[in-house]
Structure 1
């Protein structure tokens, strides 16, 4: 090989290597695992923000629904994925906080095995009753429940769900005794609340909004710090006399532990830009969700605080996955 040819090959190698190293993230579609079924709250919320992010980041976000085991199956896939920014998780309080206490053998640690990108949205619960329940306020509901122990049945999508733990927390704070009824699917849970098979609910807004608007379900209070724009006449639990009662759900965008900080920062930047879009925010209002923009460190601290909060409630309530 001539000296000229050697020099040419070396120059090409250096140029190609430099170009490869300079390729900006992302260079191909990004898979986002949602550990719940299509059409679930997490799935709908994820698609709203990811569609907006796709428009600016230059690549598609491909949602991969991996339901099962309370969100653990899909979450574990991401915990074990390569930390290159091409496999992410969009999950909520169940797999990222509650399940650490509820299911000791997760196969991953939500506080150690992920690099938080951002807390994305929070969703307060709406405390609702069947119209036959003789209560028109949260105060009247508490009085009725205490005077009639175990006469009110409330549904949830499963043990450890936000609806279930909202009910457990309600019992612990008020001293009332109510009965939990777990369902396999949300539509049946909502149908039974309308029919009166169950009389009480601690529900996410999308599950009950149609019934509320039709007068088939009566809303008494929302568990957030402020009233919901979709239900402006429904007071908060603090306004209703239970300032210490907090319940609801939230969702966060997570990457595998070890993902380069510059990739996490890019994803956070795109997420925050999406959250400032007026159309996106209006869509979230319709879904009863409040957009959030917490950085990686703040999100990590928030998740740890949620793990501790629900650990106390679960242990005090004696909740196990087998009950």
Structure 2
């Protein structure tokens, strides 16, 4: 096909306009409130994290960040809605392991987590802690726990808030690494789970720290180890799995912010700068640590690579553990 001088001139003009518009867009964005879709219910740990970050991010952007809860299907409903939103930086999504990593392995998704989103930055990690009912599980260390569970194969049960949840996968992964065999008891909500954990009905859980902080403070459950490579700021006296001889094991929930694919790079860059600054703010960090959360941030490229690595890691663990939806 032959290109005329007029075609060439039009192409050059369009490229020049884009080059001029990109910096202008970065300077003017945002000129109205930004919506952050939260794919889980109000009052959840992830919801609390999102609202703390939104409170800190809004003033930096000069606009309100409106957190909109759209729960359902393990986070898939809200995440799917975000995937279809206009890629203009005014609709973002709070990214989490379920809808971005785990659910793609457990079943089909109405979106592609890696193709339909532009990762912007991590914001936090939420540590799992191995807790036991001390009257039912008479151990104080992880080696003692492993020996105890191995002596009762298939007889010790652990709780979670559902199939494929952070708690479920942390325990299933532990079974693989430690050579133990525990029984999974999923709960529809955390309230009954906590009651049964304290009563000893289901005496073990790989819980997220905020979910058991009050029970730990009251001495109703005992923390044996956190599941990250370093100790948690929220539970500094609780050792890691690695410190107690369980190598090559790490499990935690993570959260970040992403935008629909096609969002202008200038907008992504602006959001990344402000999110990183927000997470580094001492006041924001204090609020996150108080609820048992580890502040974290990244570049867009680092977050994208992290999601890809997490997808490979958990697909392998889910396959080895034989976890299926039905």
1:176-195 paired onto structure 2 within 5 Å: 176-195=180-199
| Per-residue CA distance 1:169-192 (angstroms, 9 max, x = gap) | 011111111111111111211121
Q: Is the aligned partner of 1:317 residue 2:304?
A: no
Q: Is the aligned partner of 1:109 residue 2:112?
A: yes
**Partner of 1:14 in structure 2?**
none
Q: Is the aligned partner of 1:121 residue 2:132?
A: no
Q: Which moved more, 1:53-62 or 1:279-288?
A: 279-288
Tell me if the contact between 2:26 and 2:267 (Cα under 8 Å) persists in the aligned partners: no
Q: TM-score, normalised by structure 1?
A: 0.91
Distance 1:136 1:277 in 2: 37
* Structure 1 residue runs of 4 or more that deviate by more than 3 Å after TM superposition: 20-23
Q: Is the aligned partner of 1:243 residue 2:247?
A: yes
Counterpart pick for 2:71 among 67, 73, 82: 67
Distance 1:299 1:76 in 2: 19
Q: TM-score, normalised by structure 2?
A: 0.90
Q: Which runs of 5+ in 1 are unaligned?
A: 1-16
Counterpart pick for 1:153 among 150, 157, 162: 157
- Following superposition, the deviation at residue 305 of structure 1 comes to 0.2
Counterpart pick for 1:260 among 244, 261, 264: 264
RMSD (CA atoms): 1.4
Distance 1:287 1:189 in 2: 19
Aligned length: 303
- Matched residue of 2:127: which SS? strand
- Following superposition, the deviation at residue 84 of structure 1 comes to 0.4
| Per-residue CA distance 1:25-65 (angstroms, 9 max, x = gap) | 11111111110000111100000011011112111011111
**Partner of 2:220 in structure 1?**
216
Tell me if the contact between 1:42 and 1:91 (Cα under 8 Å) persists in the aligned partners: no
Tell me if the contact between 1:32 and 1:63 (Cα under 8 Å) persists in the aligned partners: yes
**Partner of 1:302 in structure 2?**
306
Distance 2:304 2:95 in 1: 14
Distance 1:75 1:232 in 2: 34
Q: Which runs of 5+ in 2 are unaligned?
A: 1-20
